[in-house]
Amino acid sequence: MELTVAEIAEMVGGEAAGDLGRPIRGAAAFDSAGADDITFAMSSKFEKKLAACAAGAVIVSRKPALDNTSCCLIRVDNPQLAFARLLPHFYPPARQAPGVSPSAQIGEDFTCGQALSVAAFAVIGNRVTCGDRVTIHPSTVIGDDVTIGDDVLIYPHVTILAGCRIGSRVTIHAGTVIGSDGFGFAPDGERYQKIPQVGTVQIDDDVEIGAVNTIDRAALGKTWIQRGVKTDNLVHIAHNVTVGENTILVAQVGIAGSTNIGRHAILLGKVGVSGHLNVGDNAIIGNMSGVGKDVPAGAIVSGAPAMAHTTWRRVHRDFPKLPEMKKRIAELEKRLAALENEIQARD
Amino acid sequence: MELTVAEIAEMVGGEAAGDLGRPIRGAAAFDSAGADDITFAMSSKFEKKLAACAAGAVIVSRKPALDNTSCCLIRVDNPQLAFARLLPHFYPPARQAPGVSPSAQIGEDFTCGQALSVAAFAVIGNRVTCGDRVTIHPSTVIGDDVTIGDDVLIYPHVTILAGCRIGSRVTIHAGTVIGSDGFGFAPDGERYQKIPQVGTVQIDDDVEIGAVNTIDRAALGKTWIQRGVKTDNLVHIAHNVTVGENTILVAQVGIAGSTNIGRHAILLGKVGVSGHLNVGDNAIIGNMSGVGKDVPAGAIVSGAPAMAHTTWRRVHRDFPKLPEMKKRIAELEKRLAALENEIQARD
Amino acid sequence: MELTVAEIAEMVGGEAAGDLGRPIRGAAAFDSAGADDITFAMSSKFEKKLAACAAGAVIVSRKPALDNTSCCLIRVDNPQLAFARLLPHFYPPARQAPGVSPSAQIGEDFTCGQALSVAAFAVIGNRVTCGDRVTIHPSTVIGDDVTIGDDVLIYPHVTILAGCRIGSRVTIHAGTVIGSDGFGFAPDGERYQKIPQVGTVQIDDDVEIGAVNTIDRAALGKTWIQRGVKTDNLVHIAHNVTVGENTILVAQVGIAGSTNIGRHAILLGKVGVSGHLNVGDNAIIGNMSGVGKDVPAGAIVSGAPAMAHTTWRRVHRDFPKLPEMKKRIAELEKRLAALENEIQARD
């Protein structure tokens, strides 16, 4: 899988400098790449360390003044993106063998396109529809009446319950549960009566769902993960939530019922969002924030309770000084009382 | 499954007003229900919007003055509860086919009641006992010496390890693990020695466990989930915890070892409770709270660290003002010092 | 499995007092142990309650003055450790039957040592290597090119994806996913381009991984869990993280990408650590803390944002007083202004 620097530059639409014929045989991280490897500079911080980089070639930005280095440079607009596109050349993804394992179990009225791959001990219910090039890993369970688009990759131990709809070019990582009942119970004085959860989950095209997510089916209607959403691991999405296009949910995020998350938002690790809220398009919610009211489009909020991130940075800085502040207040009170007494005594 | 308004009113013990013969063919949410659908008003907020509701009929409370609407009304004491009971009529739950799949595997000395359903690739250990109408979904693993009551529903990829006891009318959602080892290690200077976890988990009647919970077996004795408890997804319950009757644990709650949670308590999303604590009956613990000491019965607490909810509301409101407060203190110190100097100068 | 007090004392290297021939037939917790049971005193708190203990024998520390009790005492250096070592005598661990289940599926070029046990519906990929005495529970999925050491125990529904390396004496609890893709996406203007995750996960000897953990494979290189690490349930470890030897991660901890956790550290429940950080050796991070910057070796930090634990204790104490502090500041401002006016009026 050897490529020359010139060939790589052409593949990624970049401009190469240095020994264009130099052979590159692998890809590695900036700090561990060797003379046969290509790497990339994630930011100007890495570009400043180019002289210390042992890689055979480095993909860098188009900023000038990166010349005082011995390694070959390939200049592109977005080095991370170029590297991401190059990686599969050196590490071709392993594909599960096509065909249906004799130890998989498929229900009635199954419809599928070309190049289906279903591994051992996968269970597919009745009236399931799959598009082309769907890959189902071992021990996956797919319920009745599920529909799955083209080029879908489902890892082991995934559960997709009855009636859910999965778009095309969707990846679902191991252990994830899609379509479990929403958490709906009506208090009946002392006890709780279950409210049947009769809606579904719809996952649109180009979504990637991390490992061990739980995405509950709607009470009525649908829980909706829109096109291009990416979720990390251990994310919880409750019933009737909508997550807008190209939004990012980082690990251990939890979103309560009926909340709408806008497009192109980013919810960082461990964020919790209460139910029946709106988080606007392009909002960014900082790590471990607790969101208890609507977040406007474009807002950057942090903290629990969530507040403007600029405010949070100052609150965050002053929070450890709280005991000192309390002491200073007590001191002020003492001094002020003394002064008041003195003034009064003079009358 | 068509019903008239009058028939529905009778089913839910309500009082109907409007066109009693009107046919209802489905159930839907308040905002999306059409002329053939019944819906319900969750609160007075919805009752105020009745004029804008397109549903054929609406289940409402028994409050007066809800007459200026064109849709049929069915008055009941608890609209949500009535709607919950009506839903299965329009959305009859799918039941897994009865019988034991030839591709399930069942150990020795298995005892079961009537209408058992065991799906493909389920594994049941030795000396397991099941009651009547137990439904076990595909790829579930049940260890040796487990006992299961009547009317139990176990979703795919659930693991119930050896010796655990499950009551009647229990539902366990996909991916949940019951009976994993409690987290017990004795520090041995540098390393940790595992403390064998030789207790069990007991889950009483009428419990519903959400998707991907982890409920650890006791070190000695039992971890105990009492009657009527409902847990949401990704909840962690450590060894030797007791959760009292009809208590609610919302998503991503974590309860550390040997803690007792009382009856009819509510722990909202992402709450963490430290070990060896007591949370009293009817306590309510707000979203994302961190509980590090006992919570009295009936208390409502919030925040991390948890404090009285009424206090928390004010703390929550003032927290973003912390930097401003710090500035005001510095200003006060300056002004007070100036005044002190001035007074002194006059002497 | 009956033992005399004298025999137990010899087994645990302790010094027995009381009726040395007394027969002990079981082990139980301090509060529930009966006349046939042995128990242990976890701390001096329990040692003070010895008079009320109904156990036949109690393992205690070597402190003097524990004589005024009727039960037999066995004095050791570390009672918990001695009890942990004694427990398997009374509760011998159940071992899965040796051999490979005819309903397991094993790929090509499988290599294994002695006493392999593979249960029903386990799937083992191609070119997998196992050492001696490896036990694989039902419905476990092990990908291609995985290597596993000696004396490894893998519970049901575990997923170990291609190329991961597991050391010796490792236990992995149910539902855990090892080797899922790291969460790496390059923003491409509006959308996100997946960055192939081509590294692996390496888990060293003597590690125990709790139930339903997610340990992502590295983008490049490896995610590395070093010797002796113990993790509780629902822990998330992102790509390229290193967790140092004998470190403890309590339930629901999340560690973001490329962070290094030192040796012998303790991260308590629900802690979140941001990416690209260093947490030093022997550091302790309190429950629910949010770590956004490096933590020095040996530091004890708490809170979100994390601060020195001693500071946090005082912040924690004063936090509920924030509204009162705000009121006191306003009061000070009013009184000070009045005083300033008075002084000015006198001029």
Task: Give A256's DSSP letter.
Answer: -
What are the pLDDT digits (tens) for B205-241?
999 999 999 999 999 999 999 999 999 999 999 999 9
**Do A159 and A278 share a domain, yes or no?**
yes
Report yes or no: C36 and C24 within 8 Å, Cβ to Cβ: yes
Q: Is the domain of C330 the same as that of C286?
A: no
User: What are B290's strand-pairing partners?
Assistant: B272
d(CA A39, CA A55): 7
Confidence of residue A188 (pLDDT cuts 50, 70, 90): confident
Three-state secondary structure call for residue C22: coil
Q: Considering only the beta carbons, identify the residue of C84, C94, C287 that sits closest to B195.
A: C84
Compute the nearest-CA separation of A186 from chain B (Å).
5
Are β-strands A185-188 and A191-194 bridged in parallel, bridged antiparallel, or unpaired? Answer: antiparallel
C134 to each of B159, C1, C152, C201, how far by Cα in Å?
A: 20, 27, 5, 19
Host domain of residue C8: 3-90
Residue of C nearest to A137 (CA): C141
Q: Is residue A325 part of a domain?
A: no
Q: Can you list the alpha helix ranges (DSSP code H) found in C67-149?
A: 79-90
Q: Which chains touch A (3 or more CB pairs under 8 A)?
A: B, C
Cα–Cα–Cα angle for C302, C305, C309, rounded to 5 degrees: 20
Q: Tell whether the model's pLDDT for residue B59 goes beyond 90.
A: yes
Answer for the pair C132, C115: CB distance below 8 angstroms, yes or no.
Answer: yes
How many whole angstroms separate alpha carbon B45 and alpha carbon B58? 14
Phi first, then psi, for residue A288 (nearest 5°) are: 65, 15
CA distance A233 to chain C (A): 7
List CB contacts (< 8 A) between B243 and chain A: none
Question: First-to-last CA distance in chain A?
Answer: 96
Pairing of strands A307-308, A300-302: antiparallel
pLDDT at position B67 over 80? no
Beta bridge partners of B208: B171, B230
Q: Say which of A198, A274, A339 has its CB closest to residue B339.
A: A339
* Residue B239 known to be catalytic: yes
Neighbouring C-beta atoms of residue B221, cutoff 10 Å: 19
B180 and B219 housed in the same domain: yes
Instruction: Give a yes or no: residue A151 inside a domain.
Output: yes
Q: Are A73 and A58 a contacting pair, CB within 8 Å?
A: yes
Chain C residues whose CB is inside 8 A of the A97 CB are none
CATH number assigned to the domain comprising residue B18 = 3.40.1390.10
pLDDT band for position C288 (cuts 50, 70, 90): very high
Q: Angle at which helices C322-346 and B309-318 pack, to 10 degrees? A: 50
Cα end-to-end span (Å), chain B: 95
Q: How far is C183 from chain A (nearest CA, A)?
A: 6
Amino acid at B38: I
Alpha-carbon distance A325 to nearest alpha carbon in chain B (angstroms): 7
Look at chain B and count its residues. Answer: 347
**Cis preceding linkage at B305, omega within 30:** yes
CB neighbours of B300 closer than 8 A, spacing ≥ 6? Answer: B283, B284, B286, B308, B309, B310
% residues pLDDT > 90 (chain C)? 87
10 Å Cβ neighbour count for B220?
27
> In chain C, which residue's Cα lies nearest the Cα of B312?
C320
CB-nearest to A234 from B27, B234, B319 is: B234
**Active centre residues of A (catalytic):** 239
Q: Do A151 and A279 lie in a common domain?
A: yes
Please identify, among A72, A90, A108, the residue that sits at the C-terminal boundary of a domain.
A90
Burial grade of A264 (CB within 10 A; 0-12, 13-18, 19 or more): buried
- Last residue within a domain, chosen from A52, A69, A90: A90
Q: Do B180 and C157 touch (CB under 8 A)?
A: no
Q: Which of A141, A154, A232 to mutate to test the interface with C (most CBs of C within 10 A)?
A: A232
Banded pLDDT at C93 (limits 50, 70, 90): confident
User: What value does the mean pLDDT take over residues A124-132?
Assistant: 98
pLDDT of residue B333: 95
Determine the distance in angstroms separating the CA of B173 from the nearest CA of chain A, rounded to an integer. 7
Collect all residues of chain B within an 8 Å Cβ-Cβ radius of residue A312: 320
Closest residue in B to A343 (Cα) is: B343
Residue C175 backbone zone (phi > 0: left; psi -120 to 50: alpha; other: beta): left
B303 and B158 within one domain: yes
DSSP class of residue A333 equals H
Choosing from B137, B236, B239, B316, the catalytic residue is B239
Please report, for residues B116, B131, B134, the alpha-carbon distance to residue B153 in angstroms, rounded to integers and kept in the order given: 10, 11, 6
What is the ipTM score, two decimals? 0.95
C285 shares a domain with C137: yes
Domain boundary among C61, C90, C119: C90
Read off the pLDDT of residues B19-50 as tens digits, 9 standing for 90 and up.
Answer: 999 999 999 999 999 999 999 998 888 888 88
Give yes or no: residues A82 and A213 share one domain.
no
Closest CA in chain C for residue B318: C323
Tell me whether residue A256 is in a domain.
Answer: yes
Please, are residues B56 and B39 in contact by the beta-carbon 8 Å criterion? no
Shortest CB distance from C305 goes to which of A103, A248, A319? Answer: A319
Supply the mean pLDDT for chain C: 95
Q: Which residue from A186, A315, A329 is facing B320, i.e. has the nearest CB? A: A315
Strands B3-4 and B23-24: antiparallel
Cβ–Cβ pairs < 8 A, chains A and C: 187
pLDDT surpassing 90 at residue B63: no
Q: Is the pLDDT of residue A306 over 90?
A: yes
Nearest to B215 by CA among B158, B146, B168: B158
Residue A345 lies in a domain: no
Q: CA C229 to CA C267: how far, in whole Å?
A: 11
Q: What is the mean pLDDT of residues C306-322?
A: 96
- Cis peptide before C305, with omega less than 30 degrees from 0? yes
Can you read off the two tokens belonging to residue A51? 């002289």
Q: According to the model, what pLDDT value does residue B65 have?
A: 65
* Cβ-based burial of C323 (10 A; exposed 0-12, middle 13-18, buried ≥19): middle
d(CA B20, CA B30): 20
Residue C299's φ and ψ, nearest 5 degrees, are -70, 150
Kindly state the helix (H) or strand (E) to which residue A287 belongs, with its residue range: none
pLDDT, residue B273, reads 98
SS3 A261: strand
The predicted structure's pLDDT at residue A35: 92
Looking at residue C168, which CATH number applies to its domain?
Answer: 2.160.10.10
Distance spanning both ends of chain C, measured CA to CA: 96
Shared-domain flag, residues B75 and B153: no
Query: How far B190 CA lies from chain A's nearest CA (Å)?
Result: 31
Mean pLDDT of chain B: 95
- Which residues of B are less than 8 Å from C226 in CB distance? none
The verdict on residue A333 lying in a domain is no
Cα angle A169, A179, C121; round to 5: 80
Amino acid at site A46: F
Give the residue from A185, A201, A312 with the most B CB atoms within 10 Å of its CB, the best one to mutate: A185
Catalytic residues of C: 239
Residue with tokens 């509006």: C190
User: How sure is the predictor about A3, in pLDDT bands with cuts at 50, 70 and 90?
Assistant: very high
Q: Which amino acid is at B203?
A: I
Q: Which residue of B has its CA nearest to C29?
A: B220
Task: Tell me, yes or no, whether A184 and A265 share the same domain.
Answer: yes
- Among candidates B177, B171, B114, B167, which has minimal Cα distance to B143? B177
DSSP string computed for B4-51: EHHHHHHHTT-EEES-TT-EE-EE--TTT--TTEEEE--SHHHHTTGG
User: In total, how many domains does chain B have?
Assistant: 3
**Looking at the whole model, is its pTM more than 0.90?**
yes
- Say whether the peptide bond before residue A305 is cis (omega within 30 degrees of 0): yes
DSSP string, B184-247: -EEEETTEEEE-----EEEE-TT-EE-TT-EEEPPSSSEEEE-TT-EE-TT-EE-TT-EE-TT-
Tokens representing residue C64 in the block: 């003097």
Domain co-membership, A30 together with A176: no
pLDDT band at C107 (very low <50, low <70, confident <90, very high): very high
Contact criterion met (CB < 8 Å) for C185 and A248: yes
CA distance B320 to chain A (A): 6
CA distance B239 to A293: 35
Q: Mean pLDDT over residues C70-96, rounded?
A: 91
Residue B343 — very low, low, confident or very high, per pLDDT cuts 50/70/90? confident
For every residue of A143-212, DSSP letters joined together read: -TT-EE-SS-EE-TT-EE-TT-EE-SS-EE-TT-EEEEPP--EEEETTEEEE-----EEEE-TT-EE-TT
Inter-residue contact C318 to C308 (CB < 8 Å): no
In the structure, what pLDDT confidence band is assigned to residue C313 with cuts at 50, 70 and 90?
Answer: very high
Neighbours of chain B (3+ CB pairs under 8 A): A, C
> What's the pLDDT at B298?
98
Out of B188, B194, B214, whose CB is closest to C211? B214
CB-CB neighbors (< 8 A) of B256 in chain C: 250-251, 269
> Which of A141, A195, A216 lies at the smallest CB-CB distance from B156?
A141
Q: Is pLDDT above 70 for C67?
A: no
- The β-bridge relationship of strands A200-203 and A222-225 is parallel
How confident is the model at residue A295, as a pLDDT?
98
Task: Grade residue B244 by pLDDT with cuts at 50, 70 and 90.
Answer: very high
Q: Is residue A227 part of a domain?
A: yes
Q: Which of A231, A123, A118 is nearest to A171 (CA)?
A: A231
pLDDT score, position B77: 93
- In angstroms, the CA B169 to CA C9 distance is 47
User: B142 and B219: one domain?
Assistant: yes
List of chain B residues whose C-beta atoms are within 8 Å of the C-beta of residue C251: 183, 214, 236, 238, 254, 256
CA distance B251 to A214: 10
CB contact under 8 A, A319 and C329: no
Q: pLDDT by residue (tens digit) across C121-173?
A: 999 999 999 999 999 999 999 999 999 999 999 999 999 999 999 999 999 99
Does A76 share its domain with A167?
no
Q: How does pLDDT run across B109-161, given as a tens digit for each residue? A: 999 999 999 999 999 999 999 999 999 999 999 999 999 999 999 999 999 99
